[in-house]
Structure formats: C-alpha cells, structure tokens
Structure 1
Amino acid sequence: MTMHDLPSFDIRHVPFSRRGAWLGVSPVVAAHRTHRLLHLVSHRTGMHAVLSLSPLVAGAAIDADVRADPASLAWHLPGGGVVRAAFEPDGAMRIRGTAGSGMILADATSELTPFTGVYLFRDPLDGSAVFTSYETGCRYRVTPVAARLDLEGAEALGAADRRVIVDGGDRDWEIAVEEFDTARPPYSTSRGFDDLVAQTRAEFAEYLDAIAPWRSERTPAAALAGYVLWASTVSAAGFLQRESVLMSKHWMDKVWSWDHCFNALALVPGLDACAWDQFMVPFDHQESSGALPDSVAHSERLYNFVKPPIHGWALQRMRRAGLRLDATRLRIAYDRLSRWTRFWLDSRRMPGNALPSYQHGNDSGWDNSTLFDRDRVVEAPDLVAFLLLQLDALVDLAAELGEDATSWRTAAELLRDAWTDRLWRDGFTARGVWSGAASKRTSLLTLIPLVASAHLDPEVVDVLAADVRRFLTPWGLATETVDSADYQPDGYWRGPIWAPSTLLIEDGLRTGGHIELANEVSARFRRLCEASGFAENFDALTGEGLRDRAYTWTAAVYLVLARDAV
C-alpha cells in the first residue's frame, strides 16, 4: 500500500478506532446524538460515551480542525500546534501534544449515583488518574507518559465536574488511556508515539492488501471500506468468543445473525481464518432447537427473534471465493447448518403445511417491510429461496463427508413444489399463515427469490428480472417502489437502498443469466457508496446516506461487488 492509499475520513461520520479495540473516538455519543466534542466511546456493554476530549491552547479550550486516518487522529490547533491520538494493538490510546497545548478528559455524565455515572480518583499505586464507569463496568486509567495531570472532582460523589487536565507547559507532552476491568500493572511502554503510528499504518496496509489487492483508481472507495471493516473489528471478549466485526462502532455495535455473512464474504480469500471466524460467530450461540440468536454483543444475546437462513448461500459463495474447508471445518459447517435448517423445518412450520414461516418482519431482517403490513406471521418467498440454497449446500457437504443426503433432497423437493404452488401468482407474494391472505407486492423482498434462480423455471426468472427495473433508481435498488403509497424516503425497509438486498438481487440476476442488469445494479450501488460513503441505508432518490454512516455490511458489499467487477 502506498501513502496515497491511506484513506482520510470525516470523524463526524466514521469513528476513529482500530482492529481489536473496544474503544473508539467519535462525536456520536448515542443513537442519532452528536456532540460538538469528540468522546472516548466504549462498546463493551453497549455504546457508552465515557470521556469527552477537549483540546487546550495556553490553558483555554478551543475549537480545532480535526483530521483522521486509520493510523492517527489529529486536532490541528490555532497557532500551528497539534494534538494527536493513536491506538496501541491492545486497544490502549496514546495522546501526544505539542508545547503550549493541553487536553481536558472529562466525565461524559453529570452525576454519580449508586448505580450510574463515573467516579474519579488518583491511584496511590502509580499516581495515575482513574475513572470508573457504572455503564461499562470498566475502569479508564490516564497515565502521564510525559505530562502533568491535574484532577478536578477527584473522589467527589453525586453531581460534580470530574475531569483530568493535561498540561505540558512549554514542552511536548504525552498520556496513555487504558480500559480494563479491576487491576492492571502500571502502564509502561518502550514504543515511541511515531513508531506506534508507523506500526498501525503498516498493519492496516497489510490488512487492506489482503482483502483488496485488486483495488485501483476504478475502485476509489475500497481503502475506506477496508478501514470501516478493520476499525469495527473487536477482540474476543464477553459473549463474543472470537474476533468479530461489529455492524458498527456507533450504536449498532452488535453482530446480527445475517450481517456477519456479508462481512465474512468481504474477508475471503485474503483473510481466510478471519472470514471463517466471522461466519461462525452466531453459531457459537446456537441453541438446542438449532436456532441462531437474533444478535450477539459483548454483554447481550437476544433470542426473541431470528434472522433469515442465508448461511448456506453465504458459505457456498465464500467457498467459490476461496474459503478453505478442511475436515474439521467441513464437519462443523455441516453439523451447524443441519441444525439451523432443521429449526426452520421442524419449529417454524404449521402442522400440515409445507412452507415454514416468519413470525415477524424482524425474522426476515426487513423489519418493517410492507410485505408484513397485512400479516406478521407469514409464509414468505425469500425464506423458501434461502432454505433451498441451504439444502443445496447441505447436499454438497454431505457428499464430501460421505453422509446420506436423501433427507435434504426430499425436503428441497417439497419446498420447491409448495413455493410456486402457494406463493406464485404472476409474481411472488407472502401469505398470512392464519388468514391465507396475500401480502402487498410493492416490496423488493418479493424479488429476493431471484437468489435461488437455479430452482426456478427460466420464465419465472425472466418475470422477476423484468420486475427489478420497477425498483431501480439512478442510485440503485429501492426497497419499496418509489411510486408506492407506502414509500418513505427515510423509511428503513420501506424505500431506502440497502446493501444486503442489493447483493442478493445482483447475485440472483447474475446466476439467472441476466448479466447486463446485474452489472447495472452493481455499478449503481458502487457509485452510490463512492458518493455517499457506507451508510446503514440511503435515500433511493437522492443517494443521501441515512442513519449510521459507518456500517460494515455496506462496506463489505461494496468490496464484494468491486472485487467481482475488476
């Protein structure tokens, strides 16, 4: 990677962090809440802004020009001074300032109660300043590497200003900030700040070269996409038993049991072990019924909903992209996918019905799609498509393992026959399990069956492909037709463009032989990301990024589509 490959980014939209760290720096302090100051934000028990970071010049707080790249964050001060921050590999943060500058690290909450807030004291062991947080359950130690620390509000209870003032006087200064549980040996380092920045730059370059060696001037957002994935990766901790890519290091700081598939796709083949780990994250929490959790975070597992079974599709795509399955992985993949598939066939089918059902829009991943307006418990065409592809994967895995695949083939035949018999009426629809009523057909979700084109008659594929154009805007695929009465520009799954639906449709068009349209869908989405970044979703008509602006599955889909287009 050359120097011009190191992407810069707007800290207002993309947090500053690094691979492995549970900390980040951002002005985004909660869902849809942005502060004028940058904050040190932890993601260990959800998103919690712990400390505000305010640069000083001659002891006075000032506004600074903030610039960021993967290796360092810099506050450029009036008069030419600068304060820079960089993360160590273990997640600790170093902050260094030039002579005449300083920094205030202040409690981001306003009051300490018996159950909430931050407490500040000076540690007798080494003289460092320690903030303890009820919200994260962790400690934040500020150690002077070369600086003087003044504490205000130390040992105060109740409402109080708690802050550490760093002043280097007429010399350059430096501090270290660590997040840990209860105790840790006093901080020490032999690595200089500039060496740390150089090391981080080299680590990111190696990562980017592994996942996007094909990048060029034709893929101008590839380096930033790589950073979004790299910086959203956390080390194993809490419920996350292996290194994991969070959806975001803003407020969507979890792994949902379908987003991980898209992130895994972007990591293969260059980071084979990382891709496998990312694919397996929710399977570490598979319950006895075979169900996967809806989501997993550091301190939370949710089972009240599930996510769609796209895992067979994802595994097959990962293998085509170069994922290696040795004997151990092969057995694990077969056993876990078998149990996940049996969950849908055994626990989500009404007795006597051939088709399984979603119990809420959340199960589909399309939480508020208009497909669920009439009925929430529905037999949905996309669910059948995913299960058919998962059954295909199980048949292939069984053959490699020497297992009998008869039951999987039989299940696929029953699903395929009922799929078109029950849900096809010159187009796919969902049906209420209890009412039998057909759903609305203005949602892109009704076209997701394209992903299983190999299981559809060519005439059906042609009808679905032609219908794709009803959803295609200059920026990509709207999730609700823009002429629908239910269309909303910022309506979540009722209008905006999303990354996962784009890739699934693009893949289905390509495998179904509609190459030119697939290329068009891919090109428009890539152009959208290059113009508007990696938002959670996008206004289908203007291309504006909406909601969380540093979403990993958006970055991942950009990388997958760009890789395929090279």
Structure 2
Amino acid sequence: MTVVPIGPAFAVQDIPFSHRGSWFGISPVIAENIVADDLHLVSHRNGMHAILRFIVLPGATVAATPALLSWHHDDGRIDLVFDDQDTIRVRGHRLGLDIVAAAGTLTPFSGTYLYQDPVDGSHVFTSYETGRRYRVTVLTGDLEAVDGQQTLGTTRRGLTLPPDGEWELAIEEFGTARRPYRSRATFDELHRRAQTTFTAFADAVAPWRSPATPAAELAAYVLWSATVDPAGFVTRPAVLMSKHWMDKVWSWDHCFNALALAAGEPDLARHQFQLPFDHQDDSGALPDSITHAEVLHNFVKPPIHGWAWQRLRHLGLPVTRQDLTQTYERLAAWTRFWLDFRRAPGHALPHYQHGNDSGWDNATTFDGDRVIESADLAAFLILQLRCLAELATELGDDAAPWTAIADEIRAAMLDQLWNGERFEARGVLSGARQPSTSLLDLMPIVLGDELPAPITAALARGIELHLTAYGPATEPVTSADYAADGYWRGPIWAPSTILIEDGLRRAGHSGLADEISERFRALCERSGFAENFDAETGAGLRDRAYTWTASSYLILAAAHERRRSLSG
C-alpha cells in the first residue's frame, strides 16, 4: 500500500479533517475544550455530537493533509478519505480498527443504536442526537467482531476490523433510507479526486500564494473544510465559523469569510454575505447566529455589512441588478432597525443593549452601563448609510435621505463622544460617560479619511499603545483589566485587526497599517488560525480552527501581495 500525502500537514487536535459540503468531520475534539484520546466522527447537525469513536492501537500516530487522514503503527497503517460530502472510505493494512458508538448508553431519548441491515448486510448506527444513520459497509476483508447489536442500556456497541491483512469499508451519513453502497472509484482515485478538488479551491482563493505566504494553503483548507451544504436553517452553502464547537454562522463573522472568498469563489462569497439576511425579521434585525437547528435572535451583531459590501465591490465581486436591488433592500431594513429601534427618543446616536450586540462581549467599554451609545457603532452605521446612498444612486433612487442621516450621526458622534484624545461611550439611561482603555473605543478609525485628520492621528496613537509583537491587543497589556485569556479584554482578534488595518490605510496611516498586517500574518503563520491569540505570547486560544481568522490571513496576505506586485 503506497500513499503519497499532498498538501500542508496539520494536527487534527487543532483543525478537524473534513470536506467541503460535509456536516461532519474527524477530530479528537468532541465538545468545548474536551479533547478525547481517540479520533471521532463528529457531526454538526442539531448541535455538535460525537457519533463514532475510532480506536486504534495505543501509540499509533496520526497524520493529516487536506485529502488524507492516516494512522501509523510500526509497519501497519489505516487511511481515510472522503468519497463525497457524506461518505468516507477507510482502509487498513496490518492494523486493526474498532468503530464504536461514542455514546455508551442508549435510552429512549439519547444515544446510538446498532443493528445489521438485513437488506444488504451492512451495519448501521442510528443517532438520536443527529437524527441520522451512519452505515458501515465492508468492501474487502471481514469483521472480526460485532458488539452490542440490537442491545439497549449501557454497553459497548461497535465493530472490530482485524489487525492482520487488509480491509476496506465505507461509512455513510444519511436520513431514513439509501440504496446499498456501491464503490464508484478506488481508494486511490478518491484520494486524488479530493486533492484535486481542494487544490482547485486553493488556486481560486489564493492564486498568489508562495513560500512568502506559508500559511495560505492551510488557511484555504480551514475555509474549504468548514463549508457545509444547505440543510436545516442553513439556507445556502455556508462556511461555519468552525467544525469544532463554534459551529455557527454569526451575523458579522460571515462578512470576513465573504471577503476572503470574493475574488476566487464569488458565488460562495455572495452566499456568505446574504445568509444571515435570509433570516432577517420584521423589524429588519439580523439574527445573532444561525446553525443547522436554530436561529437565535437574543442579540444582534454590529452593522459592518455596509463596510463589507463596499469592500466586496472593491474586490471585484460580480453583481447583477437583482443583486444590487436585493442588497439595497436588505441593508436598508437592517439600517432602519438601528435607526427606529435602537435610538432613544431625542437621540441621534444608536445604542447597544449589551456587549454581545457589539461582538465584543465582555470588553471593558461595557464595565459600567451596558446599554450604551458608542462610537464604533456610530462609525459602522455611518459607513452603512454611505453605502446605501451609493446603492440608491446606482439604482436610480434618492440618496439624499441616507446622506443626511449619516451626516447627523457623524456630527453627534464627534460632538458627544469625542473627548479630545479618544472616543468615550455614554450610558443611554444615565447619560454618564464611560471611559475605558478598550481597543473598541478606537474602532471609529474604520471611517478612514471621513474623520478629521487630527482625530485619525489621535486614534492611530491610541492603536499604537495596544500594539504588541503580534498585533493589536483588545486591552493594553499594561492595563489593570488586561487578561491574557480574557476574550475581549486582552487577546488579539482577527476582525478588529482587519477593520483597524483597513481604516488606518484609508486614513493615510499606511505605515502603521503595514506593521499591523505584517505582525498578524506572522502570528497566523506561527500559531495557526485560533479564535483569538494571547497578545504577549502569540499562543492560539479557544477554538483553534476559526474561519474568520483564516479568512483574515488570506485578506491581508492577498492585499500585501497586490501592493508588492504594484510596487514592482
């Protein structure tokens, strides 16, 4: 058995092994911050659920590349590839494998049932949690043992493949019924096909990649492997934020994935941008998050969508008049939500009801009042209003009302929230100013040259105080409120980095923008694509396979390569 893995190697503890379109992956991560000893088939239907456990001899090593996952022990090996988005093929050479239900107990309301299908002789695990079946069809070789078939209660339910000789099998995920599995290609052909499919995606989204951008191909894999087909409440092909436990689409995260995909995968990019708008409610609000089984409206996310749409257009996203009309209508409704339902009577400025609405859940800006008028929100809404004015002009509508509201909010932001050196949030009910040292208060730099030059200069000086060797910390490391793993109270995050870098560049502070881009790209090349990073050590924190981080690397690297090519 000769297999030549191709592509970047990665640790499945950090990044699940999966395939574009699939709702499951292979990973030892079976719940938030829980890493098992063995790899599992982990599904993201109806939540995150470990369905099957793969047990190999102790001491076996695991290796993964985009198209192939392998276990090695002495001269034995097991290889696993995806046949398609819901089927994997597994083959063994002188190494045994146990495939066991991850749930040890079967009750009327939970667990996984194992039975043999009398139609084709396959063995089927039926999961209560996902409502799906996982059929194991042996293609070559024989099972050595079957345990717990048709049994209830607490017991081992599983199949054993022998440690000697060679064997091969297929595992399919499906609903109620499916025709018996028939092999359409050899294992090696499937491996080559998966590699070709992934390489084509990487060539599309990162055609500029080179040894100077060593993380680009792995970043592309993170996006490709986290993409799922439409199912449940996910109305379009969607890039989940992760195929670990952060397996949702949040209503600002998706914008960064759209930007990374725009040049090479425009249709997928368009789907990413529009997905949350498919669940826009009657008030115009976008949901907080979307998963296979739920749409949550408990919070919202900041209105960065006008900024994102303008960036998508700048990147050359092809659009039809229907695209423009739909986007205009959806952005207008989303903007009116903030104007009609998030402005107190007599107030020009919109407000957040909670830190979660800002995306910066626990930032120190919210340590006093949590219902606040903040300059970052005003800045995002101004950009969105400017975007609506441009769309209105393009579509032959009246742009003046959007421009007038943008000017009103801008004037109020400068008059009411600027203290001469930085912006300060204000409690809506108390009227009290809320000084903080959070990077959030410097986010109005996203307005770029729309702000007066002295203000952008002051914001740039403030951002420099947050800058570590790895990028802009969300709380200065010298702050009494700094926490190394404090979520938005210290760690470096991708979205804030992207927004700041873009705003600085449009404000004319290209040197600082270049420095931030370079440091963040180096951080990803060193520490991968974690949800966030320790600002002092650069270590990846929380979910280690986060797509908006991978997208941010691709966005910054692509822009850097464009600037470098233009400079000669």
TM-score grouping bracket, smaller chain normalisation: over 0.9
Q: How does 1:516-555 map to 2 (within 5 A)?
A: 516-555=511-550
| Distance change in 2, residues 1:434/1:238 (3 Å) | same
Partner residue in 2 for 1:17 = 18
| Distance change in 2, residues 1:198/1:499 (3 Å) | same
Measure how far apart 1:167 and its partner are: 2.8
In structure 2, give the amino acid aligned to 1:17: S
Aligned match for 1:77, one of 70, 73, 77: 73
Partner residue in 2 for 1:154 = 149
Measure how far apart 1:151 and its partner are: 1.7
Establish whether residue 280 from structure 1 lines up as the match of residue 269 from structure 2: no
In structure 1, give the amino acid aligned to 2:410: R
C-alpha distance in structure 1 between counterparts of 2:121 and 2:389, whole Å: 63
Partners of 2:66 and 2:195 within 8 A in 1? yes
Measure how far apart 1:196 and its partner are: 0.2
Partner residue in 2 for 1:41 = 42
Establish whether residue 308 from structure 1 lines up as the match of residue 302 from structure 2: yes
Partner residue in 1 for 2:565 = none
Cα deviation, 1:226-250, whole Å, max 9, x if unaligned, reads: 0000000001111011100000000
* Higher mean displacement: 445-454 or 517-526: 445-454
Partners of 1:5 and 1:223 within 8 A in 2? no
Establish whether residue 335 from structure 1 lines up as the match of residue 329 from structure 2: yes
Q: SS in structure 1 opposite 2:553?
A: helix
Partner residue in 2 for 1:58 = none
With normalisation by structure 2, the TM-score equals: 0.96
Cα deviation, 1:219-271, whole Å, max 9, x if unaligned, reads: 11001100000000001111011100000000000000000000000001111
Establish whether residue 296 from structure 1 lines up as the match of residue 290 from structure 2: yes
Aligned match for 2:465, one of 447, 464, 470: 470
Alignment RMSD: 1.1
Measure how far apart 1:194 and its partner are: 0.3
Cα deviation, 1:508-533, whole Å, max 9, x if unaligned, reads: 10000000000000000001001100
C-alpha distance in structure 2 between counterparts of 1:438 and 1:47, whole Å: 42
C-alpha distance in structure 2 between counterparts of 1:347 and 1:336, whole Å: 16
Aligned match for 2:342, one of 348, 357, 364: 348
Unpaired runs of at least 5, structure 2: 562-568
Measure how far apart 1:169 and its partner are: 4.5
Establish whether residue 479 from structure 1 lines up as the match of residue 474 from structure 2: yes
C-alpha distance in structure 1 between counterparts of 2:332 and 2:375, whole Å: 21
Partner residue in 1 for 2:564 = none
Query: Number of paired residues?
Result: 556
| Distance change in 2, residues 1:194/1:533 (3 Å) | same
Unpaired runs of at least 5, structure 1: 56-60
Partner residue in 1 for 2:256 = 262
* Percent of residue pairs bearing the same amino acid type: 56
Cα deviation, 1:30-56, whole Å, max 9, x if unaligned, reads: 00000010011000111111111012x
Partners of 2:449 and 2:508 within 8 A in 1? no
Establish whether residue 133 from structure 1 lines up as the match of residue 162 from structure 2: no
| Runs of 4+ in structure 1 over 6 Å off | none
Cα deviation, 1:113-162, whole Å, max 9, x if unaligned, reads: 11111111111111111111111111111111113233200111111111
Measure how far apart 1:347 and its partner are: 0.8
C-alpha distance in structure 1 between counterparts of 2:163 and 2:134, whole Å: 21
Q: How does 1:91-240 map to 2 (within 5 A)?
A: 91-98=86-93, 100-149=94-143, 150-167=145-162, 169-170=164-165, 172-240=166-234
With normalisation by structure 1, the TM-score equals: 0.97
Partners of 2:448 and 2:505 within 8 A in 1? no
Establish whether residue 412 from structure 1 lines up as the match of residue 406 from structure 2: yes
Aligned match for 1:457, one of 448, 452, 455: 452
Partners of 2:5 and 2:65 within 8 A in 1? no
C-alpha distance in structure 2 between counterparts of 1:340 and 1:415, whole Å: 16
C-alpha distance in structure 2 between counterparts of 1:167 and 1:440, whole Å: 66
Partner residue in 2 for 1:564 = 559
Cα deviation, 1:302-323, whole Å, max 9, x if unaligned, reads: 0000000000000100111110
Establish whether residue 26 from structure 1 lines up as the match of residue 20 from structure 2: no
Cα deviation, 1:426-481, whole Å, max 9, x if unaligned, reads: 21011111111222321000111000123211111111011111100011100001
C-alpha distance in structure 1 between counterparts of 2:222 and 2:432, whole Å: 43
In structure 2, give the amino acid aligned to 1:26: S
Partners of 1:148 and 1:168 within 8 A in 2? no
C-alpha distance in structure 2 between counterparts of 1:348 and 1:195, whole Å: 56
Q: SS in structure 2 opposite 1:280?
A: helix
In structure 2, give the amino acid aligned to 1:431: R
Measure how far apart 1:285 and its partner are: 0.5
Aligned match for 1:504, one of 499, 504, 522: 499
Partners of 1:102 and 1:168 within 8 A in 2? yes
